Amino acid sequence: MVHQAPLIAWPVRDGSRVPFDVFTRADVFAREQEAIFRGPVWNYVALEAELPQPGDFKTSFVGDTPIVVSRAEDGSLHAFVNRCAHRGATVQRQASGNTRQHRCVYHQWCYNMRGELIGVPYRRGAGGTRGYAADFDAKDHGLAKLRVASRKGLVFATFHPATIGLEDYLDAPLLAAIDRLFARPVKVLGHMRQRVRGNWKLYAENTRDPYHAALLHGFHATFGTYRTNQKRTGGSDRARAHTTGATYGDDWRTAAQSGDVGQDKIVASYSLADPSLMEGRPDFDDGVTVAITSIFPSLVIQQIMNTLATRHIRPKAADEFELYWTYFGYAGDDEQTTAARLKQANLVGPAGLISMEDSEAIELIQRAIVRDGGENSFLEFGEVQADLDKDRQGEASIRAFWRYYATMMDPPSAPKET
């Protein structure tokens, strides 16, 4: 076996030190595409609610690879690389739509809803040219397929043949978080996107970081929507790749316990000139006002008051990613509830009163680490050796992310140089 030197020089393996060059190196980014995004992981790609009908499709990404997610005539879900098997052109150019056939504009090669090749012009030749050989088999020239699995309407895809089942991959605490939020059918309300000049892992860190929430996001402190001393619970999977956390709000819980949830208006803020921003009824009777679930490698699911969204991290280069928000409500929402969700969208997204700081913090890091790539970020908030389940306030979830990441990028079982 060929020796492969470790790509990343980790000073320690406990996740408490991260060399800055993992955020800047093109070779690290390239390895991530193979070892992580095309590795044994499930990548979030879409919501089923975006593809309700046979023929519905949506273009998405696995890492930086463009793909199409599609629903076939029998209702089954499929994902395939959006790159023609002939000469490599982008096949589906629309962001979403409904079609029975995905046709490449270059030479009109045509694929069905499963990405299988169903049409090749002049296959038997034309104008004296022979065309393709007699043994040309369309089955060998379909679009590269990914395996697809979904849980409660969240669609995931994997390139890797050895990826474990989705339920095993997510594990119980994450399944519970998903099942809670997606207990009812959802209705997509729209998308938000932001293009961040930073490395995608800085966002993965950010969403595993309760330390920053009340410190960076001034809106919380100013308007009292989140406090560090609120009750918080959380969970993780066996591999410690994912994390989910819930924060309980007194106002919401009181309302929920009053037994009259339908009537109680929740006004969490006292100093807004127009408090209608914060009006809304709890969607759940468990008192949870904020629930953030981060699924390795590139999905965040949020409930912040009545705002519900998936956030898909779409890496573009070592120093750039797109954050793609799919904002949703429930199919049974009445007009008033939808209106409340649309208004509360002010809180989140690229212009979010409580979220706009995140991408700025990431760009501030990316700008400052252009040199000294061997130096490290310092992640010792909370007891470093404590189990993740014992520390829901500190940087334990970030350290767990890095330990898992390091294992995927440089497996410890890699043969040593002799």
- Compare residues 74 and 274 and give the one whose CB is closer to another protein: 274
Residue 29 or 223 having the CB closest to another protein: 223
Tell me which residues touch another protein (CB under 8 A): 95, 189-197, 216-219, 221-223, 272-274, 276-277, 322, 327, 338-339, 342-343, 345-346, 349-353, 356-357, 359-361, 363
Residue 115 neighbours by CB under 8 Å, 6+ apart: 68, 70, 78, 79, 80, 102, 142, 143, 144, 145
Q: Collapsing DSSP states into helix, strand and coil, what is residue 410?
A: coil
Tell me whether residue 329 or residue 382 sits nearer to another protein (CB atom).
329
Closest residue by Cα to residue 48 from 187, 163, 146: 187
**CA gap 123, 141 in Å, rounded:** 13
CB of 168 to another protein, least distance (A): 34
* Residue 165 CB, nearest approach to another protein (Å): 34
CB of 338 to another protein, least distance (A): 7
- The CB-of-157 to another protein minimum distance in angstroms stands at 22
Q: Are 92 and 77 in contact (CB under 8 A)?
A: no
Nearest to 355 by CA among 364, 363, 345, 368: 345
Closest residue by Cα to residue 397 from 289, 236, 238, 232: 236
Q: Which is nearer to another protein, 43 or 225 (CB)?
A: 225
The secondary structure of residue 402, as a DSSP letter, is H
Which is nearer to another protein, 245 or 352 (by Cβ)?
352
Beta strand pairing call for 110-111 and 117-119 = antiparallel
Q: What 3-state DSSP class applies to 369?
A: coil
- 180 with 283: CB under 8 angstroms? no
**In 3D, which of 146, 215, 261, 175 has the Cα closest to residue 393?**
215
Min CB(307)–another protein separation in Å? 11
Q: Give the angle 246-250-256 at the CA atoms, nearest 5°.
A: 90
- Supply the minimum distance, in Å, between the C-beta of residue 218 and another protein: 3
Which phi and psi angles does 232 have, rounded to 5°?
-140, 140
SS3 234: strand
Nearer to another protein, 287 or 315 (CB): 315
Q: Which is nearer to another protein, 162 or 273 (CB)?
A: 273
Provide, rounded to whole angstroms, the least separation between the CB of residue 236 and another protein.
Answer: 29
Rg of the chain over all Cα atoms, to the nearest angstrom: 23
**What's the closest the beta carbon of residue 309 comes to another protein, in angstroms?**
10
Closer CB to another protein, residue 23 or residue 169? Answer: 23
Instruction: Work out how close the CB of 366 gets to another protein at its nearest, in angstroms, rounded to a whole number.
Output: 11
**Paired tokens of 176:** 């519970």
Based on CB atoms, which residue is closest to another protein, 49 or 166? 49
Q: Least distance in Å: CB of 392 to another protein?
A: 25
Residue closer to another protein by CB (options 17, 316) is: 316
- Torsion on CA atoms 220, 199, 42, 326, rounded to nearest 10: 50
Cα angle 349, 268, 187; round to 5? 45
